Amino acid sequence: MADYMLGIDFGTGGAKSCIIDSQGEVPGFAFEEYLLIHENPGWSEHDPACYWQVCCRLIKETIDQAKCRPEEIKAIAISSALPSLVMVDKNHHPINRAYNLMDKRAIKEVEWLKENFGEDELYDISGYKLEDHPVIVNLLWEKNNRPDSFKKIYKTLTIDGLITLKLTGQATLNYSAAAFYGVAYNLRQRQFDQKLLEQLGIPSQIIPELYDCRQIVGEVTTEAASETGLATGTAVAAGQVDCNASWLGAGATEVGDFQSNLGTVGNFGIIHKSEDFIFSNVGKLMINFPYTVDSQNTYITVPTTTTGGQCIRYIRDNFSNAEMEIERIAGISAYDLLNLQAEKVPVGSEGLIVLPFFMGERTPIWDEYARAVIFGLSLNHNKGHIVRAMMEAVAYAMYDSFRLIKQAGLKINYPMVLNEGGAVSTLWRQIIADVFNVPIVLVKRRTGAPYGDAILAGVASGVFKDFSVAKEWVRYVGSMQPSRECHERYMKFFNLYKQLYEHVKDDYRKLAELRDKDSK
């Protein structure tokens, strides 16, 4: 009987699944988008009921494609984009909508925590920047604003945690994802501070049990098997953060390995083992959490701009009816059509600069009030200019963190490996190479995060002895070198990009105050 592994990843805009065999080949892959809900300013939600529905459809489609028997699937691992929050009651039914990583509602809770506990003091515990999205901060918002439903919470889960619960009946949390709970999660000790939870009014029993990413946490139940088409008793691993899954699948296993995703958010990750860096002045500006290959001793630092690929999806969804109609009729991707328009525009987008802060910003400025700005727009600019300026803006936002990490001396292995989402764009990859001034390669296999999940499933179940297969199987293509001339040109625009933010950052708060008054 052949050995197969199943990986499933839940991103911010959709979910993917794949099956791999013991040689790393992919006989089955499926993808499905789901709706982002933005009904209130600063809120970003999903309908949590869709997660399981999508999961069942993806699993069935992937098994059909792979033409394998369900009992041949040895193990499953799941990842999700974080921070995310799904609250369930004792019957495992979701309470309210789910938070996704773009949600920015809990501003007052952040200020309360700063005033009553201290920002530096909480970072020294959690290693996580105090902002308005760690899970515990959002739980405080629920407690303050929806106390009746807060009392019904049985467990607070990530998206992958919900799927693991539905598959196995076990409420679990892996070490990598636990870092995104923040505030009362002790990163060094890998446990929650019970006294601090009590002070916050968060019942400790609503926190799931903690596991190393590589542990098996349960088996597929008979009920879940009937809904998904899986075999009863299939092993389920503790899972991982989605960017870890993506980078693991693309061969990131060693200290210094350096990869980037251009999914809904834009980010990159550098693997290391330095707690000292995490708690340094530069480390405190970044997002840091355990890495899958050894989630008790290894970390990854992940600078993140909140809206990366989402910037281009915004243009597609709101201003590209013609391109989407061509996609529907001719099968040519709307994104490819937008890319063709942007390719005609020179470096610097002929004086057009974007601050890409549609939903606030994370590293390194950590400004929940920030919003997008298009600066320099004139009658000679068209849609292609705006698309390219968005791509350049995301590159600037990520470079803003990269230059600080590089100056801090963290080990970095080149080339930079680009993986999912917008990285398929040759233009966008060259922009990043030129802005960062580093060589770049692209992962040949476009399976993404679920491939890394399937590798994790294989390690957790003993099919693979360790994660070395990830490096053995990966292939890189599309090697690019940076242009010194373009880099120097971009640095002039980058400096203006930074100045623009400094000029408007105080006005963001004034705008928020006006917006809040109008919404009342």
CB contact at 8 A, 406 and 412: yes
Q: How far apart are CA 369 and CA 306, in angstroms?
A: 12
Across 26-30, average pLDDT: 97
pLDDT tens by residue, 353-403: 999 999 899 999 999 899 999 999 999 999 999 999 999 999 999 999 999
CB under 8 A, 24+ apart: contacts of 499-505: 500/353, 500/355, 500/373, 500/375, 501/355, 501/365, 501/370, 504/355, 504/373, 505/365, 505/367, 505/369, 505/370
Cα distances (Å, whole numbers) of residue 199 to 1, 40, 152, 196 = 54, 30, 20, 5
Q: Which of 143-157, 259-273, 370-384 is predicted least confidently? A: 259-273
**Kind plus residue range of the DSSP H or E element containing 268:** strand 266-272
CB 440 within 8 Å of CB 331? no
Name the helix (H) or strand (E) containing 432.
helix 426-436
Per CATH, domain 305-443+483-519 is 3.40.50.720: no
In sequence order, what are the residues at sequence separation of 6 or more whose Cβ sits closer than 8 angstroms to the Cβ of residue 368? 42, 104, 107, 110, 131, 132, 360
pLDDT digit string, tens, across residues 73-113? 999 999 999 999 999 999 999 999 999 988 989 989 999 99
pLDDT of residue 134: 87
Contact between 237 and 214 under an 8 Å Cβ cutoff? The reply is: yes
Strand partners, 237: 216
Provide the strand spans (E) within 381-461. 416-421, 440-443
* Separation of CA 474 from chain center: 21
pLDDT of residue 519: 62
Q: Which CA distances in Å does 327 have to 10, 318, 332?
A: 24, 15, 5
- Using a 10 angstrom Cβ sphere, with 0-12 exposed, 13-18 middle and 19 or more buried, the burial of residue 164 is buried
Task: Return the pLDDT at 446.
Answer: 79
Backbone angles phi, psi at 306, to 5 degrees: -60, -40
pTM (global) more than 0.85? yes
How do the domains of the chain map onto residue ranges?
Answer: 4-250+445-477, 305-443+483-519
Q: Could you write out the DSSP letters of every residue in 285-347?
A: GS-EEE-GGGTTT-EEE--EESSSHHHHHHHHHHH-HHHHHHHHHH---HHHHHHHHHHTSPT
Average pLDDT, the chain: 95
**SS3 at position 65:** helix
Q: What secondary structure does DSSP assign to 115-180, as a single string?
A: HHT-HHHHHHHH-S---S-SHHHHHHHHHHH-HHHHTT-SEEE-HHHHHHHHHHS--EEEHHHHGG
What is the layout of strands, in order, in the sheet containing 85-88? 45-46, 94-99, 85-88, 155-157
Q: Which candidate, 100, 18, 15, places its Cα nearest to that of 452?
A: 18
Q: What is the pLDDT of residue 270?
A: 98
Tokens of 160: 């992958």
Supply φ then ψ for residue 239, to 5 degrees. 90, -175
Euclidean distance between CA atoms 297 and 277, whole angstroms: 14
pLDDT tens figures, 29-78: 999 999 999 999 889 999 999 999 999 999 999 999 999 999 999 999 99
Helix (H) or strand (E) holding 76: strand 73-80
What pLDDT digit, counting tens, does each position of 168-184 carry?
A: 999 999 999 999 999 99
Radius of gyration of the chain (CA): 22
Which is more confidently placed, 359 or 481? Answer: 481
For residue 270, which of 412, 122, 121 has the smallest C-alpha distance? 412
Orientation angle between helical segments 426-436 and 383-408, nearest 10 degrees:
40
pLDDT score, position 520: 57
User: The domain 4-250+445-477 belongs to what CATH superfamily?
Assistant: ATPase, nucleotide binding domain (3.30.420.40)
Q: What percent of the chain has pLDDT over 70?
A: 99
The answer to whether 481 and 515 have CB atoms below 8 angstroms apart is no
The residues pairing with 86 across neighbouring beta strands, listed in sequence order, are 157
- State how far the Cα of 356 lies from the Cα of 378, in Å rounded to an integer: 18
Helix orientation angle between 449-461 and 242-249, rounded to the nearest 10 degrees: 80
Do 305-443+483-519 and 4-250+445-477 have the same topology in CATH? yes
Q: Above 60 in pLDDT, residue 437?
A: yes
Retrieve residue 375's tokens.
Answer: 């600066």
Exposure letters 455-464 (e unless 16+ CB within 10 A, then b): bbbbbbbebb
Chain position carrying tokens 């999205």 = 133
